[in-house]
Amino acid sequence: MTYDDDGNHYGFTLSDELIMIRDQVRRFMRDEVKPIEDKLPHDATHCDPADEARLRGIAEEMGLGRLNVPAEYGGQENDCMIRCIVNEEASKCRLGGYRPALGAIRRGPPNIIWRGTPEQVHKYGIPCVEGDMTGYIAITEPTGGSDPRNNIQTRAVKKGDKWILNGRKMWITYAGVSDWGVIFARSREAEDGRPPEITAFIVEPSFPGISFEPIPVIRPLYPYEITLDNCEVPEENLLGEVGAGFGVAEQWLVAGRMPYAAGCIGMAQEALDMACGWVKQRSSQRGLLADKQAIQWMIADSETELRAARMLVYEAASASDRGENAKILASACKLFGTETAFRVVDRAIQMFGGMGVAREMPLERWLRELRIKRIGEGPSEVHRMVIARDKLKNTDGGVYFG
Ligand X SMILES: Cc1cc2nc3c(=O)[nH]c(=O)nc-3n(C[C@H](O)[C@H](O)[C@H](O)COP(=O)(O)OP(=O)(O)OC[C@H]3O[C@@H](n4cnc5c(N)ncnc54)[C@H](O)[C@@H]3O)c2cc1C
Q: Which residues bind ligand X (CB under 6 A)?
A: 136-140, 144-146, 171-173, 217, 223, 372, 375-379, 381-382, 385
Q: Return the number of the residue (146 or 283) whose C-beta is nearest ligand X.
A: 146
Q: Which of 233, 213, 255, 253 is nearest to 154 (CA)?
A: 233
User: Are 298 and 350 contacting, i.e. CB atoms less than 8 angstroms apart?
Assistant: yes
Rounded to whole angstroms, the Cα distance separating 232 from 14 reads: 48
User: Are 239 and 112 contacting, i.e. CB atoms less than 8 angstroms apart?
Assistant: yes
What's the DSSP call for residue 378?
Answer: S
Tell me the Ramachandran region of residue 45: left when phi exceeds 0, alpha when psi lies from -120 to 50, beta otherwise. Answer: alpha
Q: Return the number of the residue (177 or 276) whose C-beta is nearest ligand X.
A: 177
From the CB of 172, what's the least distance to ligand X, in Å? 5
Q: Which residue number has the CB closest to ligand X? A: 145
Q: Which residues of 243-269 are buried (b: 16+ CB within 10 A; e: fewer)?
A: ebbbebbeebbbbbbbbbbbbbbbbbb
Q: Return the number of the residue (53 or 215) whose C-beta is nearest ligand X.
A: 215
Tell me the Ramachandran region of residue 96: left when phi exceeds 0, alpha when psi lies from -120 to 50, beta otherwise. Answer: left
Rounded to whole angstroms, the Cα distance separating 233 from 182 reads: 11
Q: How far is CA 1 from the centre of its chain?
A: 30
From the CB of 176, what's the least distance to ligand X, in Å? 11
Q: Return the number of the residue (65 or 176) whose C-beta is nearest ligand X.
A: 176
Q: Return the number of the residue (20 or 382) whose C-beta is nearest ligand X.
A: 382
From the CB of 100, what's the least distance to ligand X, in Å? 19
Q: Return the number of the residue (39 or 389) whose C-beta is nearest ligand X.
A: 389
From the CB of 257, what's the least distance to ligand X, in Å? 12
User: C-alpha angle 351/259/34, rounded to 5°?
Assistant: 55
Catalytic residues: 377
From the CB of 222, what's the least distance to ligand X, in Å? 8
Q: Which of 180, 83, 87 is nearest to 137 (CA)?
A: 180
From the CB of 87, what's the least distance to ligand X, in Å? 16
